[in-house]
Structure 1
Amino acid sequence: MKNLFIVIVIFIISRPNVLAQEDLFDILEEESPQTKNFVTSTFKGTRILNGHSIENRNKGTLEFVISHRFGRVNLGAEELYGLDQSNIRFAFEYGLTDNLMLGIGRSSFDKEYDGFFKLKLLKQGAEKGSFPFAISLFGSAVYRSIDDFEPGNEPSSSERMSYTTQLLIARKFSPGFSLQVTPSLIHRNSVKIEDDPHNIFAVGIGSRVKLTKRVSINGEYHYTVNPLESIDATNSLAFGIDIETGGHVFQIILSNSITMIEKSFITESTDDFFEGDVHLGFNISRAFQFGKNKKKKLKEVKESNQ
């Protein structure tokens, strides 16, 4: 009995320490940082078709983008179904960080120069119960350099400027389907007539349907709430195919817009897609990796196939 009593006493004394130790392990487990997984490759490239997608290039990645839009297909054989006419845009886009991309470009249409940034604000979580969307902030400034003014009525540098602000809100619903909604504000420092609004509001919607690991079909539409009054403006509509081959993303596009920057194709399109005013076009990009992030580049290429 004496030995049994000693065992019981030792157990009672030692038990609180065991419980305290177990509680401490529970607290440490709860407070230790958990690795969060995020959805990737909502779209194949940085463009849905005409407009920007939620995607950024990774830190240290420089992308060279060439965009082309030809004349209307319904111009007929005399204009080689629009191929005799073309607008082109060259651009360089750079991943300053994994969440911030900067870009500059030049368009032949109206001889416009543009610069932009795209900043990731929130990412779509991969786990159940995590944040359901990805959200980015896009902003651009455009300088219209064409000299189409009357003598003695030259616009100032400020009057040549336009600005675009967008929220890119996207969700990858499944490996084969992604959707993005893009509320937009376009501001012009100067307008043609007094009835033209300086601020134009629009809402865009774009989608991606994956066909294979490297091919998808995309659609894009932008509805303008208060269009320009000086032109017979139409809403921008586009359909296209994405083809990804390693460091290249090639997009073939059919659109009623002949321009390739936001302030133009959202507010200045005048063609009717369903009346045959369709412009064949393409975007092609080539990515180059700089710095010590080549492993990230290989990961990005792998994820683009998902």
Structure 2
Amino acid sequence: MKKLFLFVFLLAAQLLPGQDNDLLSLLGEEETTDYTTATFKTTRIVNGHSVENCGGGVLDFKISHRFAPLRNGVYDMFGLDAATIRIGLDYGITDRLMVGIGRGGREKIVDGFAKYKLLRQSTGKRNMPITLSYLIDGQIKTVKFQDQERENKFSSRLYYTHQLLIARKFSERLSLQLMPTLVHRNLVATTEDKNDVFAIGAAGRIKITKRVTFNAEYYYVPEGQISQSFANALSVGFEIETGGHVFQLHFTNTQDMTYKGFITETPEDWFFKDASGRMLSGIRFGFNVSRVFTIKKPKGLE
């Protein structure tokens, strides 16, 4: 008798949700899809992209700085005397498609990208556990060739990046993201360097207050693809939202803000030993400033 009672109870539990759905249908109510928003605050985590896009018709003006290592102390104001700068513009063509262009001081690189949101995390009628975006990025190194006597091809200045951005917002406080990445370099410096470099990135965001978050980002390059003199890029910092501006203040071991740079050419680890065995630090301070402008108002608000 107990087994029969248990069977009936379990069967009823399975049937009840279906009855509720039938009741909703009879009442004319349809289940809706709730899409997750604000997985990250901006389109960048630190150096690399997040799954976030500018909204359709929104322009995002970005200024980024990376300074010299902190280890030189007061003499060069803990690295502030030397800066690498990138200025960029991102624009949302639609809520799913974003494009951007930028120019950086190191190697005078001009970069451009397009990012498309393939899937959106959602619950309800359409249940999707992740947000998935695809990014394609191109960079042109415009600095003069060192050897002007040799035959220098324009194609030697070109670099390309393909990246998948896979993110999930687990709660209002925690978001995580994986970034499998392929960087192609038409010209490499040594025989140790491969033209095609695969890397895997991981990043996270922890919400501290309504306007402040802690961000971390790490890119791992498996051995045998780049010179052993380069390191993996690790960046941590805080993101502060103030009205129309977002400030990102962070510590990192890379001086670059392009994929070709921070994935394949990060110069030093956070901590390392020099040739004499002294322990040194490659930590640098940096920041990003983002300011958005609505260029084209959404329909219905015009």
- TM-score of the pair, normalised by structure 2: 0.84
1:290 aligns with 2:295: yes
* Residue 128 of structure 2: aligned partner: 131
Q: What are the Cα deviations for residues 147-198 of structure 1, in whole angstroms up to 9, with x where unaligned?
A: 1421312532111000000000000000000000000000011112233100
Cα shift at 1:228: 4.8
Matches within 5 A, 1:18-37: 35-37=32-34
CA distance in 1, matches of 2:226, 2:137: 23
- Any residues of structure 2 matched to 1:1-306 within 5 Å, and which? 35-127=32-124, 130-226=127-223, 228-230=225-227, 232-274=229-271, 275-293=280-298
Bigger mean CA deviation after superposition, 201-210 or 283-292: 283-292
Unmatched 5+ residue regions in structure 1? 1-22, 297-306
**1:252, CA displacement in angstroms?**
0.1
Task: Supply the distance in 2 between the matched residues of 1:159 and 1:39 (Cα, whole angstroms).
Answer: 42
Return the letter of the residue paired with 1:96.
I
Identity of aligned residues (%): 44
- CA displacement, residues 29-49 of structure 1 (integer Å, 9 cap, x when unaligned): 69x7x5321100000111111
Q: Which amino acid in structure 2 is aligned with residue 117 of structure 1? A: A
Residues in 2 aligned to 1:158 and 1:219: alpha-carbon distance in whole angstroms: 34
After superposition, the CA RMSD in angstroms is 2.2
Q: Deviations over 1:273-294 (max 9, x none)?
A: 1342111000001100012229
In the aligned structure 2, how far is the partner of 1:27 from the partner of 1:200? 57
Distance, in Å, in 1 between the alignment partners of 2:237 and 2:141 is 28
Corresponding residue number in structure 2 for 1:299: none
Q: Which residue of 2 aligns with 1:17?
A: none
> 2:241 and 2:76 mapped to 1: Cα distance?
31
For the Cα contact (< 8 Å) 2:197–2:226, is it kept in 1?
no
Give the SS at the match of 1:174.
coil
Residues paired across the two proteins, number:
271
User: What secondary structure, in the 3-state scheme, does the structure 2 residue paired with 1:169 have?
Assistant: strand
Mark the structure with the bigger radius of gyration.
1
- The answer on whether the counterparts of 1:100 and 1:118 sit within 8 Å (CA) in structure 2 is yes
Contact kept in structure 2, 1:117 and 1:138, CA below 8 Å = yes
Q: Give TM-score scaled by structure 1 length.
A: 0.83
Partner Cα distance (1:262, 1:42) in 2: 22
Whether the 8 Å CA contact 1:187–1:198 is kept in 2: the answer is yes
Instruction: Check conservation: 1:65, 1:285, Cα contact below 8 A.
Output: yes
- Deviation (angstroms), 1:27: 9.5
Amino acid corresponding to residue 187 of structure 2 in structure 1: S
On the 8 A contact 1:200/1:226 being kept in 2, the answer is: no
Between 286-295 and 80-89, report the one with greater CA deviation: 286-295
Task: Kindly provide the CA deviation profile for residues 204-253 of structure 1, in whole angstroms up to 9, marking residues without a partner as x.
Answer: 00000000110000111000024654460100000010001121111001
1:129: how far off?
A: 7.8
Distance in 2 separating the partners of 1:46 and 1:162: 21
Q: For 1:227 and 1:43, how far apart are their aligned partners in 2? A: 33
Residues 32, 125 of structure 2: 8 Å contact kept: no
Mark the runs of 5 or more structure 2 residues left unpaired by the alignment: 1-21, 272-279
Give the residue type in structure 2 aligned to 1:177: L
